[in-house]
Amino acid sequence: MSGHSIAHEQLEKRLASFQQKHIPNTRALFFSTGYLSNLTAITGLARLAPQGNTSIYSARLNHASLIDGVRLASIQTNALIILFYHTAPESLHDSLKKDIRPHRIIVTDGVFSMDGGLAPIEKLLAIAEQYDALLLIVDAHGFGVLGDQGHGILEQKNIHSERIIYIGTLGKAAGISGAFICAQDSFIEWLIQKGRPYIYSTATPAAIAHALLKSLKIIESDEGKRRRNHLHRLIDIWQQEMMFSTWEKVSSCTAIQPLILSSNANALLAAKLLDEAGY
């Protein structure tokens, strides 16, 4: 309703330039939230094929927005859903070998918000190539943080492919709100014409797009690099020096650092201690 302003257009161009080296002929589409971009991308991908022709391979620890997107796509297109563990991508071979549905989509978080693990995207891409599948990567916790320039997991892993559909969210490292899909120009055009969650919700105000342009400048600047280095130092300190006698610290190299508290009482106690310490 409030339209597509010059600021929206500039933001999409800048976001596309971040992934240009990794997805040929890429174009970006800006969304008001990651939940909406994820719903739009997954249902949009599934609807590329006729009813009943799609299989969606979804990582078990994917974020709720991906799970909901996969479920909605299945309802809309009669797509088959197959779950896999991101720590065992080889298990996909068995299912894909037997799959008689011609349209296959692999859906994964880049950094898993549930355990802090990085998706094995090199392996997933090799599998996608072998079985002619598309690979959707939602890099909510990687964009702005991973890679020398903060462009995300594709930069960090030096990955290039026209099979990849990349989503970044803008409410985490970018510090504001929103999300974007980067993919081949033809798929973005399909979403603009057919993506129901995109079409039937109000556009983000231009002021947010202006603010996000500033965020992208910071991410790419020396200041952005300094902040990323600082974050990585904090991750190392947490991993190497923090000791807990009863709570379980999980090994993770990302900004998601799980601490397993094991009970509701422990969770309430931790909340109280953090509150008292000013967090």
Residue ranges that bind ligand PLP, judged by CB under 6 A: 33-35, 63, 65, 109, 113, 138, 140-141, 169, 171, 179
CA angle 235/240/243 to nearest 5° reads 110
Residues 127 and 262: their CA atoms lie apart, in Å, by: 36
Q: Considering beta carbons, is residue 113 or 215 the nearer one to ligand PLP?
A: 113
Q: Considering beta carbons, is residue 54 or 113 the nearer one to ligand PLP?
A: 113
Q: Supply the minimum distance, in Å, between the C-beta of residue 198 and ligand PLP.
A: 14
Residue linked to tokens 């927005």: 65
Q: How many CB atoms lie within 10 A of CB 185?
A: 12
Collapse the DSSP code of 82 into the 3-class scheme (helix H, G, I; strand E, B; otherwise coil) and give the result: strand
Q: Supply the minimum distance, in Å, between the C-beta of residue 56 and ligand PLP.
A: 17
Q: Supply the minimum distance, in Å, between the C-beta of residue 42 and ligand PLP.
A: 12
Q: Considering beta carbons, is residue 196 or 225 the nearer one to ligand PLP?
A: 196
Q: Supply the minimum distance, in Å, between the C-beta of residue 201 and ligand PLP.
A: 12
- 109 phi and psi angles, rounded to 5 deg: -70, 155
Give the residue closest to ligand PLP by C-beta. Answer: 34
Q: Considering beta carbons, is residue 18 or 35 the nearer one to ligand PLP?
A: 35
Q: Considering beta carbons, is residue 77 or 113 the nearer one to ligand PLP?
A: 113
CA angle 119/120/126 to nearest 5° reads 135
Q: Which of 229, 228, 247, 250 is nearest to 238 (CA)?
A: 250
Q: Supply the minimum distance, in Å, between the C-beta of residue 50 and ligand PLP.
A: 29
Residue linked to tokens 């993506």: 195
